[in-house]
Structure 1
Amino acid sequence: MNPMLNPSGGSEWRTVSLYRQLQSAAEVRIWHFRGAPSEAFSGFDLTRIDTLRLAFPRGGTLVFVGVYFNISHWIRLARPARVILTYNTPDAERLTARVDLIRRTCGLEPEIVFCSKELASQVPFRGTVEPSLVDLDAFTPADRSGRTTFRVGRLSRDAPEKHHPEDMRLYERLAEQGCEVDVLGATSEMQANAPGPGLIHMRPLGSCAAPAFLHDLDCFFYRTSPQWAEPWGRVIIEAMASGLPVVTDRTSGASSVIEHGRNGLLFDTTEEAFDLIMKLARDPALRRSLGQAGRVTAEDLLSADVRARLEAFYLDPAAPSRSQP
């Protein structure tokens, strides 16, 4: 279950990736609500929850990918064997409310999946930490030799909190040094205020497929606003899988898999970010070594063993028994 509204939303693609992983081993369906889903998911057989027509999941295992959306009264009639809550946005109050709701309506103790160890440590619930699955066949390294320009790119939702207030000035400084900057998922304000035709490109969300966009980059940069603590950052793993050197700040959850100088670069300040990107611009060998190590990290993080353990968790036939009132 997920609203499936945002074409580059981490929760939406986490939903799709989990569906792909499980569909060959079980009967799996993606349920959505809140109107029509994004056209980005038109290739999937999505089913709309419609309580007026009594169309909603019944029995089995219910997986809510996110706790940021409301669960309607249909949950009282669903009578699931298991309920799994994916906690991937920092909102402890909403998580507590969803846990209480499942206990009251389903008579079950919901199981919780955390997107990172950092997020798990912030709430008084126990659960399992599970990476968001990335398609390693879609996100692959590209041949970046022979390029005449150095292109820095960034990909995310176009929400203002996904962008740091100092980033536009950083992009301008990089362009002044001859770097090309390409931002996919720029806010409307960023698009409106972008410099004229030149080295800085502010693209609207959905104007390019993520794998193709990453293939055209030489470096991936990522950080968010101080008002948004990035609990994971799926796009960072997609960039690493694409063989790109990643430059990210230490606050994102996905930075926990980066060893500075080996499979990526970490920074604390804008000045550090500028210096690290310029270092990559001048050193193709460093770009290659970081990108190659990043790909290996993505493969290890999403290995066959990891995927097998994930399947075992969701498909375990020994569903928990109902709790006592």
Structure 2
Amino acid sequence: MRQALTYQIAGQLDEAAAAYQEVLAQAPSTHDALHMAGAIELTRGNLDKAERLITAAMAVRPSYNAIEHNLRLVHDAKFAALLSKTEDLCERALPILGEFALARGKPHMNSISAEGATSLKKPIHLIGRLDAGESEQSLRRIADLVAPHEPTVWCVGDGIVESAHARNMRRVDAMVGAMPRGGTHVYVGVDYNCASWIDRADADRVIVFCGSAAPSFYIEQLRALARDGSRAIELVFPSQAMAARFGRGHHVLPPPFGVDPHAERVVADVPMQESDARTERSIGVIGQARDSVADATDVDLLRALAGAGPLRIYDPGRLRYSLGTNARVRFIPRRRDGIAEFVARTTCFVHRAATWWTEPAHQELFAAMAASIPVLCPSSSIFAEYIDDGVDGMFYVTDAECVAKVTDLMREPTRAVEMGRAARTKAMRLFDLQQLSRRYAALLCGDRVEPAVAPPSSAELVLER
């Protein structure tokens, strides 16, 4: 048992599994061996085998917290796998929804600025959820960008909206009839329930800023907003790659990300040999969502990255259980406005993406660029179009390629600094306050807004998943 645990702590899972099997061959009811062997199979993604082993350990030693916890992880992982199959089917329906249900009665696109100016005389209602996350950040930022047009901000949920410029802030309360009516309704995200009032919220025009959400949720929410096709709605996406998932003819705008023009990366020009706690070279990644389960390939990638240099994981979630014994991994808890400080202390930032709808929010990727940090991004990412490979960041296809490129950057700090500077220059251009304000105002005018970056290749749009 001692040797098996030593192998497991060192990440030598094959050797550890074999050692546990030797223990079980001699003593089949050894609960620690059953439990640890099950934990290894969970890490490998062999969920049925993991469930059998951990359930057997529970039978030998019931009411043991660690065993109960890992059994819950197995059940969560099996549910996530089932849900993923459902989402794959729903994803295929998104272009159909976009082409037929949403596009019936195409929204009018003004081509004359005077007409656009007239449309801005109608009231503008911004609707969003307050969750201290991506949705709230986007809602606040859009409210500030279009503040000259005096939008009314409608809050869905119990949080409090505070914006320096939005004068009218109200809470949706269907019970008393408090809801947006008339004018332009701008929904920021779709991750909230509006079923109790959407049929009474009449609008001259409906715009939806699309963020992170599962395809099944998009189908449900967009059908409700479009009233099953009886009301035309316009979709706005943060990238062309994401827009392509929903068919043709949608708006693409850079996300409402804010860059401080005076905030430079403090350690960018400090010689790497003079590293201290503030300037230590490290690799930054974002942890997994709290409702997801760490799979084997993801954990293996992070272990390999830790081998290339000290690894900092922001908001680690359940990754603490898989990587907590690794001395080269440091976990940073999530806090409000903490991402800027996190990325500023890294040498490079690794953006990870599985399916597009589970891809981490764009805030972290753009925060790294704004902080003069080069980003390593999967070429299949919905945000890959914002990276110039080899100039202000790097693309990777496989985990092995990612680790190799990170290793090279850690060995070539001058190159990392040069890429970081190019990344910040791009971020300053993309998220210039005046430019963004004009583009968002143009959208509200009814103008067709063109993408700010070159489109990805058609092959990537069709083939990458």
TM-score, structure 1 length as denominator?
Answer: 0.81
Determine if contact 2:198/2:224 at 8 Å carries over to the other structure.
no
Q: Does 1:74 align with 2:181?
A: no
Q: What is the CA deviation profile of residues 111-140 of structure 1, one whole-angstrom value per residue up to 9, with x for unaligned ones? A: 211222112222245221111121111794
Q: Which amino acid aligns with 1:173?
A: A
Q: What is the CA deviation profile of residues 186-210 of structure 1, one whole-angstrom value per residue up to 9, with x for unaligned ones? A: 11x2123333483311233327611
**In structure 2, what is the equivalent of residue 297 of structure 1?**
426
* Match runs of 1:1-325 below 5 Å: 1-5=127-131, 7-9=132-134, 11-23=135-147, 25-34=148-157, 36-37=158-159, 47-89=170-212, 94-95=217-218, 97-104=220-227, 108-124=231-247, 126-137=249-260, 140-144=263-267, 145-147=270-272, 148=275, 149-155=280-286, 158-159=289-290, 161=292, 165-177=296-308, 179-187=309-317, 189-196=318-325, 198-206=327-335, 209-226=338-355, 228=357, 230=359, 233-303=362-432, 304-315=434-445
How far apart, CA to CA, are the structure 1 residues paired with 2:382 and 2:408?
Answer: 24
Determine if contact 1:79/1:106 at 8 Å carries over to the other structure.
no
Name the stretch that deviates more: 60-69 or 203-212. Answer: 203-212
Determine if contact 2:299/2:322 at 8 Å carries over to the other structure.
no
How far apart, CA to CA, are the structure 1 residues paired with 2:431 and 2:220?
Answer: 31
Determine if contact 1:152/1:182 at 8 Å carries over to the other structure.
yes
Q: Which amino acid aligns with 2:286?
A: L
Q: Which has the higher helix share?
A: 2
How far apart, CA to CA, are the structure 1 residues paired with 2:227 and 2:347?
Answer: 51
How far apart, CA to CA, are the structure 1 residues paired with 2:183 and 2:234?
Answer: 14
For residues 250 and 314 of structure 1, do their structure 2 counterparts lie closer, same or farther at Cα, with a shift above 3 Å needed? Answer: same
Larger Rg: 2
Find the residue that maps to 2:312 and give its secondary structure: strand
How far apart, CA to CA, are the structure 1 residues paired with 2:295 and 2:365?
Answer: 16
How far apart, CA to CA, are the structure 1 residues paired with 2:438 and 2:311?
Answer: 39
Determine if contact 1:113/1:130 at 8 Å carries over to the other structure.
yes
Find the residue that maps to 1:310 and give its secondary structure: helix
How far apart, CA to CA, are the structure 2 residues paired with 1:164 and 1:135?
Answer: 33
Determine if contact 2:352/2:360 at 8 Å carries over to the other structure.
no
How far apart, CA to CA, are the structure 2 residues paired with 1:163 and 1:245?
Answer: 25
For residues 73 and 211 of structure 1, do their structure 2 counterparts lie closer, same or farther at Cα, with a shift above 3 Å needed? Answer: same
How far apart, CA to CA, are the structure 1 residues paired with 2:437 and 2:444?
Answer: 11
TM-score, structure 2 length as denominator?
Answer: 0.59
Determine if contact 1:249/1:268 at 8 Å carries over to the other structure.
yes
For residues 163 and 12 of structure 1, do their structure 2 counterparts lie closer, same or farther at Cα, with a shift above 3 Å needed? Answer: farther
How far apart, CA to CA, are the structure 1 residues paired with 2:196 and 2:360?
Answer: 29
Unaligned stretches of 5+ residues in structure 2? 1-126, 448-465
Determine if contact 1:232/1:252 at 8 Å carries over to the other structure.
no
Q: CA RMSD for the aligned pairs?
A: 3.2
How far apart, CA to CA, are the structure 2 residues paired with 1:245 and 1:124?
Answer: 32
Determine if contact 1:152/1:217 at 8 Å carries over to the other structure.
yes
How far apart, CA to CA, are the structure 2 residues paired with 1:208 and 1:259?
Answer: 27
Q: Which amino acid aligns with 2:136?
A: E
Determine if contact 2:344/2:371 at 8 Å carries over to the other structure.
yes
How far apart, CA to CA, are the structure 1 residues paired with 2:339 and 2:351?
Answer: 14
**In structure 2, what is the equivalent of residue 320 of structure 1?**
none
How far apart, CA to CA, are the structure 1 residues paired with 2:338 and 2:364?
Answer: 13
How far apart, CA to CA, are the structure 2 residues paired with 1:60 and 1:190?
Answer: 46
How far apart, CA to CA, are the structure 2 residues paired with 1:214 and 1:19?
Answer: 26
Determine if contact 1:29/1:47 at 8 Å carries over to the other structure.
yes
Determine if contact 1:8/1:205 at 8 Å carries over to the other structure.
no
Determine if contact 1:217/1:244 at 8 Å carries over to the other structure.
yes
Size of the aligned set, in residue pairs, is: 309
Cα offset for 1:95?
Answer: 4.3
Cα offset for 1:98?
Answer: 4.3
Find the residue that maps to 1:223 and give its secondary structure: coil
